[in-house]
């Protein structure tokens, strides 16, 4: 503005002189003509010349004035055009920013669980261009609200999924507990027992499916474990949840335990990978399962002898593994849902597992599942836990054939006692053996020697008492009777 | 029984059919092993064994009946029978018939003899 103003001021004297040129020229011509023409027409000539000069002067001054007005208008017009261009560019830039930056940010924030107001406050367009900032804001608001409604719908669908899965899991868990009890109760009948195991296996498969749905719904799988579980048992737990567990060979497993919170995810991820391995390999081949310790944790290797993955299938599987964690849509449950890898990737994202699928030397696939070391702890029971490890090693003095008996002194003592009490050399074999054994096993335990002595010695009863005692509340009397009987036989 | 189940449940994700590797229908074992058959190990424990097998071999250092093994492992008798059949086939343990009650002197007879002696 300043520049144009100064230039017009500079130009003004020139232009003001220019309008004088035609009247001056005309006045000079009129004067010349008046000098040259004869004297009798000089007066009219001078009059005409003067009138023409005045007319020209008026016209040219008017023309110059109008020219000045036109140039002012043109200048203003150019200024306005430039302003509008600038405004347009700004608006375009704003729109691009809205589409390219603000909306994706808003959607991402909404996906992460922010509320609509929070998102609007965070990603509001800048104050410049106040005219269309309001419109942009309203566009953003309507989009944000739509996205939030959609997210809410998806969330509620997920919750419904997880809810249903949890109910199924609860039923399955109850069923498994009942089945385990029945297996204990009917353990003596092989046919019945076999059928129960079959049912047990079927229940485990249902449980895995329910776990998968829960995981895809964004929840944790199944039940929680309080104590660390040896990796060996974790892997056997994974084997127990697939259809073809008979084809899995469990090889060497590193002697560590998985911490309580990690047990179920590891079982589930390994079960899904084992299921893939057994499902996509011929039924007569074996699947090899090992676990080795590595720098960053433990690597579980699952190797099958199937046809393997083509390069394209492998890429697709890995892309599923990568993007699976991003979210789960109901659309993913197509007609033939292939949940396995999606579930594994979901678990991997939550628990920082790493998974790789590579061609195996057997021709199939070698899946490696790496468990981070924060989920690994030392194993309390090296070599794996067996049923109830607490009662496992029977606390009795073992006698090797040929080795001297370890308990002669207490035996002598009790023998002498019984002799003095009865007055005669009585042979109370049961109480004697009992006392001797009890003295060897736990000398401090005095209650034990009294109980069997009061019982009448009935052949066959010891077995019943022993089994019920070991499974029941007080294993001690049962144990005493066993050792009693074994010492009997030794005698 | 229910207490034993609870003890099994929180600590162990194994199921019984995994322990027996799915050969739960080996009926041939049932004829040879009953509850009171004594099992005794023939070898030392081999680290390559399945834990259940290894434990049985370690336990049967001294003769134990099938029922006792079942009770210690808290495994049903059928499962233990399958495990033992496996071990018997591989020659790691041997089965002995139970000591017959008839071979032992009758307590009543001994008491009668004792009373007779006292009355002399």
The residues near A272 (Cβ < 8 Å, ≥ 6 apart) are: A208, A212, A339, A340, A341, A343, A344
What's the pLDDT at A45?
A: 87
- Shortest CA gap B81–chain A (Å): 9
Long-range contacts of A353-362 (CB under 8 A, 24+ apart): A353/A265, A353/A266, A353/A269, A355/A269, A355/A273, A355/A321, A357/A309, A357/A314, A357/A317, A357/A318, A357/A321, A359/A308, A359/A309, A360/A303, A360/A304, A360/A305, A360/A308, A361/A303, A362/A285, A362/A303, A362/A304, A362/A305
Which residues from chain B sit within 8 angstroms of residue A176, using beta carbons? 15
Give the domain ranges of chain A.
14-110, 224-393, 397-490
Q: Residue with structure tokens 């084809």? A: A247
Which residues from chain B sit within 8 angstroms of residue A198, using beta carbons? 17
Nearest to A233 among B7, B12, B22 (CB): B12
* Euclidean distance between CA atoms A298 and A35, whole angstroms: 123
Nearest to B17 among A234, A240, A424 (CB): A240
Q: Residue with structure tokens 């590595």? A: A294
* Euclidean distance between CA atoms A467 and A185, whole angstroms: 12
- Shortest CA gap B79–chain A (Å): 7
What's the pLDDT at B22?
A: 59
What's the pLDDT at B13?
A: 77
- Shortest CA gap B4–chain A (Å): 6
Nearest to B51 among A183, A383, A459 (CB): A383
The H-or-E segment that residue A371 falls in is strand A365-372
Q: Quick check: A293 and A256 in contact, CB under 8 A?
A: yes
Pick the residue from chain B with its C-alpha nearest to A466.
B68
- Shortest CA gap A469–chain B (Å): 9
What's the pLDDT at A272?
A: 92
SS3 B39: strand
β A287-294/A297-303 pair status: antiparallel
What's the pLDDT at A30?
A: 87
Nearest to B79 among A187, A240, A396 (CB): A187
pTM of the predicted model, to two decimals?
Answer: 0.62
What's the pLDDT at A215?
A: 86
Q: Which CATH architecture has domain B2-119?
A: Orthogonal Bundle (1.10)
Q: Which CATH architecture has domain A224-393?
A: 2-Layer Sandwich (3.30)
Per-residue pLDDT reduced to its tens digit, A73-132: 999 999 999 999 998 998 888 888 888 888 888 888 887 777 777 877 777 665 555 567
Pick the residue from chain B with its C-alpha nearest to A247.
B21
Pick the residue from chain B with its C-alpha nearest to A224.
B10
What's the pLDDT at A1?
A: 42
Q: Quick check: A151 and A191 in contact, CB under 8 A?
A: no
| Best CA proximity match to A268, nearest among A239, A238, A290 | A238
Which residues from chain B sit within 8 angstroms of residue A400, using beta carbons? 61-62
Pick the residue from chain A with its C-alpha nearest to B57.
A393
Nearest to A388 among B7, B76, B99 (CB): B7
Give mean pLDDT in consecutive 10-residue pieces for chain B, a chain of 120 residues. Answer: 40 78 54 78 78 83 85 83 86 78 76 91
Q: Quick check: A133 and A125 in contact, CB under 8 A?
A: yes
What's the pLDDT at A410?
A: 42
What's the pLDDT at A435?
A: 44
Q: Quick check: A234 and A375 in contact, CB under 8 A?
A: no
* Euclidean distance between CA atoms A477 and A470, whole angstroms: 9
Give the domain ranges of chain B.
2-119
| Per-residue pLDDT in tens (0 to 9) along chain A, 491 residues | 444 444 444 455 565 677 888 888 888 988 888 888 888 888 888 898 899 989 998 998 899 899 999 999 999 999 999 999 998 998 888 888 888 888 888 888 887 777 777 877 777 665 555 567 777 788 888 888 888 888 888 888 888 888 998 999 999 989 988 988 888 888 788 888 888 888 999 999 999 999 988 888 877 777 788 888 889 889 999 999 999 898 998 888 888 889 888 899 999 999 999 998 898 888 899 999 999 999 999 999 999 888 877 788 788 777 777 765 555 555 555 555 567 888 888 888 889 899 888 888 888 889 999 999 999 988 877 666 665 444 555 544 444 444 444 444 443 444 444 554 555 555 555 444 444 444 444 444 444 444 444 444 555 566 666 666 666 544 444 343 434 443 443 33
**Complex ipTM, two decimals?**
0.73
> Is B8 in contact with A387 (Cβ distance < 8 A)?
yes
What's the pLDDT at A4?
A: 45
Which residues from chain B sit within 8 angstroms of residue A491, using beta carbons? none
Which residues from chain B sit within 8 angstroms of residue A487, using beta carbons? none
């Amino acid at each position: 503005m300043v520049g144009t103003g100064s230039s017009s001021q500079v130009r003004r004297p020139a232009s003001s002189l220019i309008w004088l040129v035609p009247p001056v020229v005309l006045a000079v011509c009129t004067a010349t003509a008046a000098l040259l023409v004869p004297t009798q027409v000089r007066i009219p000539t001078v009059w005409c010349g003067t009138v023409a000069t005045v007319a020209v002067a008026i016209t040219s001054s008017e023309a110059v004035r109008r020219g000045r007005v036109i140039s002012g208008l043109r200048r203003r017009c150019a200024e306005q055009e430039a302003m509008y261009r600038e405004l347009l560019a700004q608006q375009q830039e704003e729109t691009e920013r809205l589409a390219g930056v603000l909306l994706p940010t808003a959607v991402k924030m909404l996906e992460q669980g922010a509320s609509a107001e929070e998102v609007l406050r965070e990603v509001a367009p800048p104050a410049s261009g106040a005219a269309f900032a309001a419109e942009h804001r309203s566009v953003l608001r309507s989009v944000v609200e739509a996205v939030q409604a959609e997210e809410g719908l998806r969330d509620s669908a997920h919750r419904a999924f997880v809810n249903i899965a949890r109910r199924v899991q609860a039923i399955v868990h109850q069923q498994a507990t009942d089945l385990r009890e029945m297996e204990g109760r009917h353990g003596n009948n092989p046919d019945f027992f076999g059928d129960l195991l079959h049912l047990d296996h079927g229940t485990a498969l249902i449980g895995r499916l329910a776990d998968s749905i829960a995981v895809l719904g964004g929840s944790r799988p199944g039940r929680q474990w309080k104590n660390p579980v040896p990796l060996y048992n974790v892997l056997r737990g994974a084997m127990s949840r697939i259809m073809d567990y008979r084809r899995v060979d469990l090889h060497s497993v590193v002697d560590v335990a998985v911490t309580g919170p990690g047990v179920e995810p590891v079982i589930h991820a390994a079960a899904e990978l084992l299921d893939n391995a057994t499902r996509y390999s011929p039924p007569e081949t074996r699947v090899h399962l090992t676990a080795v310790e590595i720098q960053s944790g433990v690597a579980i290797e699952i190797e099958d002898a199937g046809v393997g993955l083509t390069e394209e299938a492998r890429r697709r599987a890995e892309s599923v593994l990568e993007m699976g964690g991003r979210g789960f849509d109901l659309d993913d449950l197509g007609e033939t849902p292939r949940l396995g890898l999606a579930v594994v990737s979901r678990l991997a994202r939550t628990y920082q597992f790493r998974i790789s699928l590579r061609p195996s030397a057997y021709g199939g696939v070698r899946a490696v599942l790496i468990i981070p070391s924060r989920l690994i702890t030392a194993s309390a029971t090296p070599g794996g836990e067996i049923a109830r490890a607490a009662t496992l090693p029977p606390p009795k003095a073992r006698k090797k054939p040929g080795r001297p008996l370890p308990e002669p002194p207490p035996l002598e003592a009790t023998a002498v006692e019984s002799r003095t009490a009865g007055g005669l050399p009585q042979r109370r074999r049961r109480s004697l053996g009992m006392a001797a054994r009890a003295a060897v096993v736990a000398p401090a335990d005095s209650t034990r020697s009294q109980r069997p002595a009061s019982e009448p010695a009935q052949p066959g009863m010891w077995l019943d008492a022993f089994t019920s005692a070991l499974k029941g509340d007080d294993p001690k009397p049962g144990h005493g009777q066993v050792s009693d009987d074994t010492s009997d036989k030794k005698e | 029984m229910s207490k034993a189940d609870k003890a099994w449940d929180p600590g162990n994700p194994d199921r019984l059919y995994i322990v027996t590797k799915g050969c739960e229908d080996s009926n041939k074992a049932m004829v040879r092993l009953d509850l009171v058959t004594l099992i005794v190990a023939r070898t030392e424990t081999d680290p390559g064994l399945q834990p259940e097998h290894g434990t049985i071999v370690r336990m049967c250092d001294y003769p134990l009946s099938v029922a006792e093994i079942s009770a210690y492992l808290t495994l049903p008798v059928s499962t233990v029978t399958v495990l033992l059949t496996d071990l018997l086939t591989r020659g790691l343990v041997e089965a002995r018939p139970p000591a017959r009650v008839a071979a032992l002197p009758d307590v009543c007879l001994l008491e009668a003899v004792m009373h007779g002696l006292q009355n002399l």
